[in-house]
Amino acid sequence: MDRPDTDRPATERGSPPMSAAADAARTTANILLEIEAVLFRPDAPFTFTSGRKSPVYVDCRKIISFPRARAKLMDLAVERIAASVGYESLDVIAGGETAGIPFAAWIAERLGLPMVYVRKKPKGFGRNAQIEGTFPEGARALLVEDLATDGGSKLGFIEALRGAGAEAAHSFVVFHYGIFPEGIARLEAEGVSLHALCTWYDALAAAEAAGYLSGQGLAEVKAFLDDPDGRVGRVSEEIVFYTNPQSRGRIVRWMLEEVEAPYRAEYLTYGPALQTPEFLAVNPMGKLPAIRHGGTVVTETVAICSYLADAFPERGLAPPPPARGAYYRWLFFSAGPFDAAITARAAGFEPPEAVRGMIGYGSLERVLDTLERQLSAAPYLAGTDFTTADLCAGAQLVFGQHIEVIAPRPVFTDYLDRLAARPAFRRAAALDEAAQAAMDQQGETREQPA
């Protein structure tokens, strides 16, 4: 079956010869079919916890229960790693919690290398809060997991390894979906090559050859693999993003990069462009930012971010509803007291002591002290995991320090360093800087709104 080169398992530079890669992919696919680690169900699609529907499903964790199968797959893995990365180009094997740990152990043993594992979230504070085990500064690490969908989850582990002093430029998985080429692009943008034994296309070819699929069922699965975002159960309408690089649209841009949703940016200048009938139909306030998602229009920065977190739950940017108490508190703390306090200070307004009780934020100092206490107790506002509340509050901190109404505090500096390390933050900042440069070149206004 014809398909783009980026969909083959040999997606990274320095791949082994195609015959060796193809043989390994075919063997891997046949093993996964035999142990029922890959399943095809076009007539009754699987429904995932995110609400997505899919006619295919893979569970590489089953491999650990089949000794002969896992031994063969790990032999193939070592051959693949040696051909793609090199025999003497690695110093440590790192397993991603939890599914990657057994595979990392077997690979480390075969390669005669030390092993560590990387937690999904920090345990405590400090440089090695996510790493169990040890390695020297500058150690060349290979991240190992069982599978990769679009590759996004790998970046969190890679960042943890790099933050602990490792050089992390390679990741290996047994199974790579191979149907989201933009995922490979994101990894490559962060200097990471992904190595895999097989993809869904290899599994489909093996299933067709073995008679598992034929006719309409085969056509349905092929159609899904060729256009997964058009067939899954989430809302897939285009997002139109109305913004200006010198607006709170920078916060929404960051959120859009976090959810990794396709969107089209419409850049508007301040002044008459925001008062046209066309834009006032989007936001009667004539303010930025705003989004249109299919037939839904959302305005107000924190409302947009909250909407996107719920529209794309698979990104994990909001806790499950029963655990959202702290999340809602800090999300709306950002929209209310924090935003108002920064804006008032920037405008030169200081509420008199006698009326502070009736003003929602009281004083900027009280707001900052409250925020500092929370961040001294946990790495993120809602606990141990980054959420949309951190995105909104962190963006306010960045802005407040930029306009010099918030003085740096050690707790804030550490917090902002954690946020700035996120790949989505860096992508969003680069996109906004590029957009601003283009607008400057065209002579468009940089005037701030009143």
- CATH number assigned to the domain comprising residue 403: 1.20.1050.130
Clarify whether residues 294 and 176 are in a common domain.
Answer: no
The answer to whether residue 191 sits within a structural domain is yes
Structural domain of 159: 5-231
The answer to whether residue 450 sits within a structural domain is no
Q: Which of 231, 248, 272 is the last residue of a domain?
A: 231
Clarify whether residues 327 and 411 are in a common domain.
Answer: yes
- 32: CATH: 3.40.50.2020
Residue 366 pLDDT > 70? yes
Clarify whether residues 328 and 409 are in a common domain.
Answer: yes
Position 17 scores a pLDDT of: 55
The answer to whether residue 139 sits within a structural domain is yes
176 or 51, greater pLDDT: 176
Residue 77 pLDDT > 50? yes
Position 322 scores a pLDDT of: 84
Clarify whether residues 328 and 401 are in a common domain.
Answer: yes
Position 288 scores a pLDDT of: 96
Region 422-437: mean pLDDT is: 93
Clarify whether residues 226 and 313 are in a common domain.
Answer: no
Region 413-431: mean pLDDT is: 95
How many independent structural domains does the chain possess? 2
Position 274 scores a pLDDT of: 94
The answer to whether residue 447 sits within a structural domain is no
Clarify whether residues 147 and 224 are in a common domain.
Answer: yes
The answer to whether residue 446 sits within a structural domain is no
Mean residue pLDDT of the chain comes to 88
- Residue that the structure tokens 């703390």 belong to: 333
The answer to whether residue 449 sits within a structural domain is no
Clarify whether residues 214 and 256 are in a common domain.
Answer: no
pLDDT digits (tens, 9 = 90+) for 303-358: 999 999 998 887 889 998 888 999 999 999 999 999 999 999 999 998 888 888 88
Clarify whether residues 220 and 330 are in a common domain.
Answer: no
Where does the pLDDT of residue 399 fall: very low under 50, low under 70, confident under 90, or very high at 90 and above?
A: very high
Residue 153 pLDDT > 50? yes
Clarify whether residues 227 and 310 are in a common domain.
Answer: no
Where does the pLDDT of residue 409 fall: very low under 50, low under 70, confident under 90, or very high at 90 and above?
A: very high
Clarify whether residues 293 and 211 are in a common domain.
Answer: no
Region 92-116: mean pLDDT is: 97
Clarify whether residues 281 and 180 are in a common domain.
Answer: no
pLDDT digits (tens, 9 = 90+) for 38-50: 999 888 887 654 4
Position 297 scores a pLDDT of: 95
Region 369-374: mean pLDDT is: 97
Q: Which of 231, 257, 287 is the last residue of a domain?
A: 231
Q: Which of 231, 257, 276 is the last residue of a domain?
A: 231
The answer to whether residue 265 sits within a structural domain is yes
Q: Is the pTM of this model over 0.75?
A: no
The answer to whether residue 138 sits within a structural domain is yes
State percent of the chain over pLDDT 90. 68
Position 35 scores a pLDDT of: 96
Region 356-381: mean pLDDT is: 92
Clarify whether residues 385 and 430 are in a common domain.
Answer: yes
